[in-house]
Structure 1
Amino acid sequence: MRVFLFLFLLFPIIELTLLIQVGSAIGALPTVLLVIGTAIAGGILLRVAGLATAWRAREKLARGELPEQEMLEGLLIAVGGGLLLLPGFISDIFGALCLIPFIRRLLVNKIRLRAAEQAMRQRAFADDLAARSGQARPGASQPNVLEGEYKRHD
């Protein structure tokens, strides 16, 4: 968590430094126009890619399927469009990567794998806790336990 906070605080400084470097290399007006142009292009790409993803999700829903792939792609499109709308070149690079279809699909598959692994870890942890407390989850097989009393004769 501290690393995330550190990167969150460091990111604007890096963006500003890069904007100053590019501005000094190509001039202030071309830099401002480039930032505005990427924001406009991001808005257009966000709208086009978002509509295409929404149509694919709608088609899947019409077939009675759950559109989890399209929902995650829609999330990445929204993140990518938001990053393109931010002023700066590093955020534009990451935003453009989120909007490129094959990279977006790779990221979605990676997210799905991590979510499945996390669900398996949580399920294993819940099963372990249930076994320790003597409770069983609904749908889980009951252990073979014989209850009884005993007396010790010495």
Structure 2
Amino acid sequence: MAPPVNDAPLTTARPHRRRRRVLAVLAVLLLVVPTIEIAVLIGVGRVIGAWPTIALLLVESAIGAWLVRREGGRTWQALSVALTTGRMPSRELADAALVLIGGTLLLSPGFVSDILGYVLIAPVTRPVARRALEAVIARRLLGGFMGGFGPTATRPGAGSTGRSDGPDIIEGEVL
């Protein structure tokens, strides 16, 4: 005789835990990143001096502003072309997001954030950053979708092995 199947919905506190984890990571980043930036600024200032460090930050900011303007314009133009031709602009939207994030990082003073901003904006390194962004988004979307359904889901009361009684079959009609 087969054990009874519990058809209760699968509810977990995942969104609450995820939100807590994101807030904890953000709090740590808000403490750690400025500390690293200040340490790098002091280290560079000790090596090349205070005024050359300030000049280097200003030159770096000017180059970053020029690069953001150029790449932002190219990204906007590519997005417009994709939309007018009726093509799905997924690559262009990812590039626009990377240019926006990179530009924001370039606005903050510091060498570490500027290096990361340049990596996100530069046309040579942006494809690598885009692939990483796509992987994160795919993992988040598929992870959220597969969290309660599909072959990885287990039913409550399915036994200590975690196996279900068989494949989930959802009957329906395709219109």
User: Is TM-score (shorter-chain normalized) higher than 0.5?
Assistant: yes
- Residue 109 of structure 2 corresponds to residue 80 of structure 1: no
Q: Which amino acid aligns with 2:110?
A: G
Taking a change above 3 Å as real, the CA distance of residues 63 and 91 of structure 1, as seen in their structure-2 partners, is same
In structure 2, the residue corresponding to 1:101 is in which secondary structure? coil
Alignment match, 2:12: none
- Among 127, 143, 150, the alignment partner of 1:121 is 143
Instruction: State whether residues 95 and 126 of structure 2, in contact with CA within 8 Å, keep that contact through their aligned partners in structure 1.
Output: yes
Instruction: Tell whether 2:93 aligns with 1:44.
Output: no
Question: For the aligned residues, what is the CA RMSD?
Answer: 2.4
Task: Choose the corresponding residue for 1:96, options 106, 118, 127.
Answer: 118
TM-score norm. by structure 1 comes to: 0.76
Larger Rg, first or second structure (1 or 2): 1
Per the alignment, do residues 60 and 41 of structure 1 end up closer, same or farther by CA in structure 2, a change over 3 Å counting? same
Identify the range of structure 1 (57-66 vs 102-111) with the bigger mean alpha-carbon deviation.
Answer: 102-111
* TM-score for both structures, normalised by structure 2: 0.68
**Residues 36 and 126 (structure 1 numbering): CA distance in 2 closer, same or farther, change over 3 Å?**
same
Q: Are residues 1:112 and 2:134 paired?
A: yes
Structure 2: state its 5+ residue gaps: 1-20, 157-168
Q: Which runs of 5+ in 1 are unaligned?
A: 133-139, 144-154
- What is aligned with 1:136? none
Aligned-partner Cα distance in 1 for 2:57–2:92: 29
C-alpha distance in 1 between matches for 2:87 and 2:121: 24
Tell me the equivalent position of 1:151: none
Match of 1:20 among 17, 39, 42: 42
Measure, in 2, the Cα distance between the counterparts of 1:86 and 1:105: 23
**Per-residue deviation at 1:38?**
1.0
% identical aligned pairs: 30
Alignment-derived partner of residue 142 in structure 1: 171
Over residues 85-111 of structure 1, what are the superposed CA-to-partner deviations in whole Å (9 max), with x where a residue is unaligned? Answer: 211111111111111224211222222
How far is the alpha carbon of 1:127 from its aligned partner? 4.4
Give the aligned length: 135
